[in-house]
Amino acid sequence: MKIVVLDGYTLNPGDLSWEGLRKYGEVTVYDRTPADKVAERISDAEAVFTNKTPITRETLEACKSIKYIGVLATGYNIVDVGAARERNIPVCNVPTYGTAAVSQFAIALLLEMCHHVGEHSQTVKAGDWSNSQDWCYWNYPLVELDGKTMGIIGFGRIGQATGRLAQAFGMKVLAYDEHPNHELESETLKYVTLNELLEKSDVISLHCPLFPSTEGIINKDNIAKMKDGAMLINTSRGPLVVEQDLADALNSGKLAGAAVDVVSAEPIKPDNPLLTAKNCIITPHIAWAPKESRKRLMDTTVDNLEKFMNGNSVNVVNQ
């Protein structure tokens, strides 16, 4: 079997191994593939793996030998799954690898907004503490989480893991999900409507998929319902947020802070309004990327291919 990985660098910049795939055929790994080179590079491939490189209907029509498409991620909107289904090509993703990593990162962003650890460290190294008249100082309000409320929009695996971490800090959790599991409810966790979550949360963390119903769910109207001084975290999908509306809320002081690991167009465009917004932390889509998490992704990718080869495909998103 000829196997082609179109954009392997982000998954494996050199600290993992592709040997698991090589058990099943001849493997060619490209760090990155421009859109105009996709069809050429997979023209005679039978198994194709992609992370963010699009595989379109036109590509599938031009590449007749493809029998399997593996997505090196959970989201699979970069593949025309309908066109693949028409050709009986299974598209398999990796749904659970990043739960611990992403929930941990969401809390890391929250703690940074509460304490500005990085910036305070920089001021110390710049000499501010050495030159201080007092034995300590802080340049931002410091926030204690105990007793505050976190609202989590999207209460699947990652949302639930984030909720458990928030509860460990003494926070109450309000959850909004289209498919609530009321068995999870407790004294410190309950499902509520979206409006109630917006109105009562001190911190809102986004963990929902990007669907037409969730696109732009953080907009000026919903921000207006939020508490003055609330904080927002997005480690899910950039288009969940209307970025100009969020920037306006930060610049006006309606929201005390925001921390986003994802934006509407990636890499981020130089004119993105969040780049110049007040009290906004932006990280380059790295919540998923600890080595441990990427190793799970790699292992599941290999397992998905093995199951397909044995006639028992799993994690198929276009059945």
Phi-psi region of 311 (alpha: psi -120 to 50; beta: other; left: phi over 0): left
Q: How far is the C-alpha of 150 from the C-alpha of 172, rounded, in Å?
A: 6
CA pair distance 259, 281, nearest whole angstrom: 4
SS3 205: strand
Q: Are strands 203-206 and 26-29 parallel, antiparallel or unpaired?
A: unpaired
Query: At CA 259, angle to CA 242 and CA 272, rounded to 5?
Result: 45
Query: Is position 237 annotated as part of the catalytic site?
Result: yes
Q: Which of 237, 243, 294, 296 is catalytic?
A: 237
What 3-state DSSP class applies to 114? helix
Q: Is 285 part of the annotated catalytic residue set? A: yes
Instruction: For 120, list phi and psi in degrees, rounded to 5.
Output: -65, -40
Q: Which of 116, 285, 294, 296 is catalytic?
A: 285
Structural tokens at position 173 = 């959790």
Residues serving a catalytic function are 237, 266, 285
